[in-house]
């Protein structure tokens, strides 16, 4: 898993007539825009450095024009490298001759495109077999392997159809099958699911993840969609203006965004970044039990009459003590009828969240607990709870806006 | 000193050209005679075959091809056309014209499609070829005939060569256009999967450009038919002969039936090749 398969060192791409000059200006510390004004040349990628491990899904994220497509196209040299190195299994891609490059593309790396880029004049199975056809694999063998790939994406029944008879989602499955058929170590996916509607997109992500469980390939995935990046990425690289500004696991990036761009990126895409727990906590619809006060029997009575499963126990100054349930109260009463101490009835694994926590932070807690999550302010005072319902409604509300 | 008022010729360009052509004829006559040979041989073969075959078999073959590509109504039209030219006494001329068109179009394709591919792949080559094609296409058709006669002498073969020159541009242009219009993503996808430049051409660009290439072929056929008739001026046989005989003798009937034969033949060939484009 930790075996390195792709290494990118000091990679630069300049679009224009005199890249050397642009590189010099870059080294003098000029910005991308100044160089464009001075020379008319565009800096596609500047000084990219990273490694990708075998079996990893590495997501490259950024706004359009941030250089992510250019970066990925330099991995298989669809775009020529201006300076720097790309090593695939130790082999410097920049130094390959035409024949070696063709060999690399045929045997080790395949690609899935945003626009699907299926051949309209070929049937689905011929499209799936396209890479093998180019590699001059004999016909029966390549059709077998194409069929296997179509089975993996669930399209074996469509083998004889033409691509234009299919929906976008199905066409992209053919695109995926075409990439799988050559059995590559590395798959480059360029905004592969961005052209699909959200439901199909999620479905395709699931399919990719389940394929990945069966056969671990190294996937370099370009996306501008944070949710997608979080769902499928083992690690994410964020690009801004041709530079990689941060690389890390989704959690690392969420918790320590490297700069405002990264932060804004997250905020712009995901409403859960803006609101924190305090904003959506509700005091209504919950049963609060004061302690010390009436005993467990009275508390149980109140829960039953309010038709609630859980009660929140607070002390006189509203400090949160714990959660009791009807079941835990009944057990306490049966075991020890006279006690006035609730603490034995407190449920395990209760972790109150902080009012300033973001929705991302509390997501896991809200989803995994059966009870609404208690929210405390800085003074550890109880200010309300967040139920799954409220959490989802907030998400939906923000998404609709 | 008086103003120059364009009354005297200053640039004797016509003389230069004449000298140039004379020089070409004197020094390269053998070369041009050799170029003529493949055209001559294939023309003789096809002309002989079409004229030697029983007319009803020719009609049957055309009917089958039309039925395959252009449907029933057009098939009826094809049979009607061939029977009519037969009844008009123009069968042999029609077959000669057909042979000339076939030979001209085959040579146009053999030369034109590669030229179109080359100009699609190189902007510089396109920039060079474009004015050449413009010239070929806009020069009045009679003007082609003069240098052709000087270099290749008169006769049916020279007529076909003039036709090849005149009918070549559309297939070059439309091949070029068709290949340039192939979506760049498709080419990129091909390259990403390790296609060589030749594989990109044969497996992506030509199949994608095929309808456009066929449309070019159709246009080339149409232009070839119109030129083949004019080629009668330099002694080529075929349907042009009754047209010019009619014009020379003020025999409007003869000229008209020659014209009718030409138009009907053009329509038949157009419908068949249009059908091929659509399939």
Which positions in chain A have a beta carbon within 8 angstroms of at least one beta carbon in chain B?
76, 78, 102-107, 109-111, 113, 115, 117-121, 130-131, 133-135, 178, 182, 188
Residues of A in contact with B204 (CB under 8 A): 119
Average pLDDT over residues A270-275: 54
Query: Cα(A192)–Cα(A195) distance, rounded to whole angstroms?
Result: 7
Query: Cα(B119)–Cα(B197) distance, rounded to whole angstroms?
Result: 15
pLDDT of residue B257: 92
B86 and B142 in contact (C-beta within 8 Å)? no
Query: What would the two tokens of residue A149 be?
Result: 């790939």
Nearest CA in chain A to B195: A134
Q: Give the H or E element holding residue A168.
A: helix A168-181
Nearest C-alpha neighbor of B253 from the set B89, B136, B118, B51 = B89
CB distance A134–B207 less than 8 Å?
no
Residues of A in contact with B185 (CB under 8 A): 113, 115, 117
Alpha helices in A12-97 (DSSP H): 19-27, 32-39, 68-75
What 3-state DSSP class applies to A221?
strand
Given the structure tokens 């299994």, which residue do they identify?
Answer: A89
pLDDT band at A286 (very low <50, low <70, confident <90, very high): low
Q: Which residue has the higher pLDDT, A180 or A285?
A: A180
pLDDT of residue A314: 83
pLDDT of residue A397: 56
Nearest C-alpha neighbor of A221 from the set A204, A241, A245 = A204
pLDDT band at A401 (very low <50, low <70, confident <90, very high): very low
Q: Any idea which of A47-56, A191-200, A254-263 has the lowest mean pLDDT? A: A254-263
What structural domains and CATH numbers belong to chain B? 37-278 (1.10.3720.10)
pLDDT band at A398 (very low <50, low <70, confident <90, very high): low
pLDDT of residue A16: 87
In this predicted structure, the answer to whether residue B94 has a pLDDT above a threshold of 70 is yes
Query: What would the two tokens of residue A368 be?
Result: 């995994």
Confirm or reject contact between B194 and chain A (CB < 8 A): yes
pLDDT of residue B105: 94
Query: What would the two tokens of residue A39 be?
Result: 């020379």
Burial label, A36 (beta-carbon count in 10 A; 0-12, 13-18, 19+)? middle
CB distance B207–A105 less than 8 Å?
no
Q: For the packed helices B13-52 and B91-121, what is the interaxial angle rounded to 10 degrees? A: 120
Query: Cα(A42)–Cα(A35) distance, rounded to whole angstroms?
Result: 7
Write the pLDDT tens digit of every residue in B127-136. Answer: 999 999 998 8
Task: Examine the predicted complex and report whether its ipTM is higher than 0.85.
Answer: no
Beta strands in A93-135 (DSSP E): 109-112
A92 and B205 in contact (C-beta within 8 Å)? no
In this predicted structure, the answer to whether residue A268 has a pLDDT above a threshold of 80 is no
Best mutation target, A75, A103, A117, to test chain B (most B CBs within 10 A): A117
Confirm or reject contact between B44 and chain A (CB < 8 A): no
pLDDT band at A337 (very low <50, low <70, confident <90, very high): low
A222: Cβ contacts below 8 Å, ≥ 6 apart: A59, A60, A61, A68, A69, A72, A188, A189, A190, A191, A192
pLDDT band at B58 (very low <50, low <70, confident <90, very high): very high
CB distance A130–B194 less than 8 Å?
no
Q: Given A103, A113, A133, which is nearest B189 (Cβ)? A: A113
Q: Which range, A149-163, A261-275, A334-348, B135-149, is most confident?
A: A149-163
Q: For the packed helices B206-230 and B240-248, what is the interaxial angle rounded to 10 degrees? A: 30
In this predicted structure, the answer to whether residue B67 has a pLDDT above a threshold of 80 is yes
The tally of CA atoms less than 13 A away on the side-chain side of residue A308 is: 22
Chain centre distance of CA A303? 41
Average pLDDT over residues A121-141: 93
The residues facing A358 across adjacent strands are: A276
Q: Given A107, A117, A134, which is nearest B195 (Cβ)? A: A134
Query: What would the two tokens of residue A36 be?
Result: 């464009």
Q: Average pLDDT over chain A, rounded to whole? A: 85
Alpha helices in chain B (DSSP H): 13-52, 55-87, 91-121, 123-138, 141-152, 156-180, 184-192, 197-199, 206-230, 240-248, 252-278
pLDDT band at A312 (very low <50, low <70, confident <90, very high): confident
B131: Cβ contacts below 8 Å, ≥ 6 apart: none
In this predicted structure, the answer to whether residue A37 has a pLDDT above a threshold of 50 is yes
Could you give the dihedral angle defined by the CA atoms of residues A209, A213, A214 and A218, in that order, rounded to the nearest 10 degrees? 80
pLDDT of residue B1: 59
What 3-state DSSP class applies to A315?
coil
Q: Which range, A46-50, A303-307, B28-32, is most confident?
A: A46-50
pLDDT of residue B199: 94
Q: Which residue has the higher pLDDT, A70 or A356?
A: A70
Confirm or reject contact between B185 and chain A (CB < 8 A): yes
Minimum distance, in Å, between the CA of residue B194 and any CA atom of chain A: 5
> How many CB atoms are located within 10 Å of the residue B268 CB?
22
Chain centre distance of CA A378? 31
Average pLDDT over residues A295-309: 81
Average pLDDT over residues B102-123: 95
CB distance A119–B204 less than 8 Å?
yes
B187: Cβ contacts below 8 Å, ≥ 6 apart: B200, B204, B205
Write the pLDDT tens digit of every residue in B171-226. Answer: 999 999 999 999 999 999 999 999 999 999 999 999 999 999 999 999 999 999 99
B82: Cβ contacts below 8 Å, ≥ 6 apart: B55, B58, B59, B62, B94, B268
Residues of B in contact with A188 (CB under 8 A): 192
Per-residue HEC secondary structure of A322-344 comes to: EEEEHHHHHHHHHHCCCCCCHHH
Q: Give the H or E element holding residue A186.
A: strand A186-190
Write the pLDDT tens digit of every residue in B245-270. Answer: 998 898 989 999 999 999 999 999 99
Minimum distance, in Å, between the CA of residue B94 and any CA atom of chain A: 38
Nearest CA in chain A to B203: A134
Distances (CA, A) of A365 to A132, A353, A399: 48, 8, 21
Residues of A in contact with B207 (CB under 8 A): 119, 121
Query: Cα(B195)–Cα(B229) distance, rounded to whole angstroms?
Result: 46
Distance spanning both ends of chain B, measured CA to CA: 72
Q: Give the H or E element holding residue A140.
A: helix A139-152
Q: pTM for the whole thing?
A: 0.73
Given the structure tokens 């800096």, which residue do they identify?
Answer: A43
pLDDT of residue A1: 45
Using CA of residue B139, residue B143, residue B145, residue B147, what is the dihedral sign? negative
pLDDT of residue B20: 87
Residues of B in contact with A119 (CB under 8 A): 186, 189, 203-204, 207-208
The radius of gyration of chain A's CA atoms, rounded to the nearest angstrom, is 28
Pairing of strands A310-314, A83-88: unpaired
Given the structure tokens 């997109």, which residue do they identify?
Answer: A201
Burial label, B279 (beta-carbon count in 10 A; 0-12, 13-18, 19+)? exposed
Chain centre distance of CA B125? 22
Query: DSSP secondary-structure letter at A91?
Result: E
pLDDT of residue A101: 93
Query: What would the two tokens of residue A146 be?
Result: 């194409």
Minimum distance, in Å, between the CA of residue A73 and any CA atom of chain B: 9
Confirm or reject contact between B211 and chain A (CB < 8 A): no
Query: Cα(A271)–Cα(A261) distance, rounded to whole angstroms?
Result: 16
Confirm or reject contact between B162 and chain A (CB < 8 A): no
Q: For the packed helices B13-52 and B141-152, what is the interaxial angle rounded to 10 degrees? A: 80
In this predicted structure, the answer to whether residue B74 has a pLDDT above a threshold of 70 is yes
What 3-state DSSP class applies to A268?
helix
pLDDT band at B163 (very low <50, low <70, confident <90, very high): very high
Q: What percent of chain A has pLDDT over 70?
A: 92
Distances (CA, A) of A256 to A82, A262, A263: 32, 9, 9
In this predicted structure, the answer to whether residue A265 has a pLDDT above a threshold of 70 is no
Nearest C-alpha neighbor of A299 from the set A323, A264, A335, A267 = A323
């Amino acid at each position: 898993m930790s075996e390195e398969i792709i290494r990118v060192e000091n990679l630069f791409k300049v679009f224009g007539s005199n890249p050397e000059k642009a590189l010099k200006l870059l080294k003098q510390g000029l910005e991308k825009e100044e160089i464009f004004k001075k020379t008319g040349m565009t800096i596609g990628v500047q000084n990219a450095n990273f490694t990708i491990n075998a079996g990893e899904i590495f997501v490259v994220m950024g706004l359009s024009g941030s250089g992510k497509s250019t970066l990925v196209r330099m991995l298989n040299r669809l775009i020529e490298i201006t300076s720097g190195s790309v090593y695939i299994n130790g082999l410097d891609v920049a130094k390959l001759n035409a024949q070696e490059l063709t060999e690399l593309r045929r045997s080790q790396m395949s690609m899935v495109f945003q626009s699907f880029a299926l051949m309209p004049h070929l049937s689905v199975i011929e499209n799936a077999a396209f890479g093998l056809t180019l590699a001059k694999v004999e016909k029966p063998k390549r059709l077998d392997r194409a069929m296997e790939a179509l089975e993996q994406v669930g399209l074996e029944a469509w083998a004889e159809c033409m691509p234009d008879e299919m929906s976008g989602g199905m066409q992209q499955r053919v695109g995926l099958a075409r990439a799988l058929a050559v059995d590559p170590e590395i798959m480059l996916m360029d905004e592969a699911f961005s052209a699909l509607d959200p439901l199909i997109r999620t479905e395709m992500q699931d399919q990719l993840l389940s394929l990945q469980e069966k056969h671990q390939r190294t996937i370099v995935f370009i996306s501008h969609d944070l949710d997608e990046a979080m769902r499928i990425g083992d690690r994410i690289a964020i690009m801004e203006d041709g530079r990689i500004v941060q690389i890390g696991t989704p959690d690392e990036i969420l918790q320590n965004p490297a700069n405002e761009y990264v932060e804004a990126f997250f905020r712009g895409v995901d409403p859960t970044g803006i609101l924190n727990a305090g904003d959506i906590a509700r005091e209504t619809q919950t049963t609060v039990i004061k302690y010390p006060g009436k005993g467990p029997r009275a508390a149980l009575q109140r829960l039953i009459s309010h038709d609630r499963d859980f009660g929140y126990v607070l002390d006189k100054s509203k400090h949160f003590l714990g959660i009791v349930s009807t079941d835990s109260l009944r057990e306490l009463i049966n075991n020890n009828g006279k006690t006035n101490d609730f603490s034995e009835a407190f449920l395990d694994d209760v972790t109150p969240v902080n009012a300033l926590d973001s929705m991302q932070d509390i997501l896991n807690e809200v989803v995994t607990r059966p009870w609404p999550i208690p929210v405390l302010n800085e003074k550890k005072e109880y200010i309300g709870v967040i139920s799954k319902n409220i959490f989802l409604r907030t998400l939906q509300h923000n998404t609709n806006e | 000193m008086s103003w120059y008022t364009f009354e005297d010729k200053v640039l004797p360009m016509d003389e230069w050209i004449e000298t140039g052509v004379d020089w070409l004829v004197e020094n390269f006559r053998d070369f041009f005679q050799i170029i003529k040979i493949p055209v001559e041989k294939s023309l003789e073969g096809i002309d002989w075959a079409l004229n030697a075959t029983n007319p009803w078999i020719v009609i049957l073959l055309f009917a089958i091809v039309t039925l395959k590509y252009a449907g029933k109504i057009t098939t009826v039209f094809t049979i009607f056309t061939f029977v009519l030219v037969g009844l008009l006494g123009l069968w042999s001329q029609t077959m000669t014209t057909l042979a000339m068109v076939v030979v001209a179009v085959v040579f146009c394709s053999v030369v034109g499609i590669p030229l179109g591919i080359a100009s699609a792949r190189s902007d510089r080559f396109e920039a060079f070829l474009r004015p050449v094609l413009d010239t070929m296409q806009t020069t009045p058709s009679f003007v082609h005939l003069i240098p052709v006669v000087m270099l290749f002498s008169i006769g049916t073969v020279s007529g076909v060569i003039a036709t090849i020159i005149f009918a070549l541009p559309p297939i070059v242009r439309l091949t070029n256009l068709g290949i340039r219009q192939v979506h760049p993503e498709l080419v990129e996808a091909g390259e990403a999967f390790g296609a060589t430049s030749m594989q990109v051409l044969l497996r992506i660009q030509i199949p994608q450009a095929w309808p456009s290439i066929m449309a070019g072929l159709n246009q080339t056929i149409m232009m070839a038919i119109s030129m083949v008739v004019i080629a009668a001026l330099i002694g080529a046989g075929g349907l042009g002969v009754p047209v010019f005989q009619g014009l020379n003798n003020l025999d409007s009937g003869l000229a008209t039936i020659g014209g009718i034969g030409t138009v009907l033949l053009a329509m038949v060939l157009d419908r068949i090749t249009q059908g091929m484009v659509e399939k």
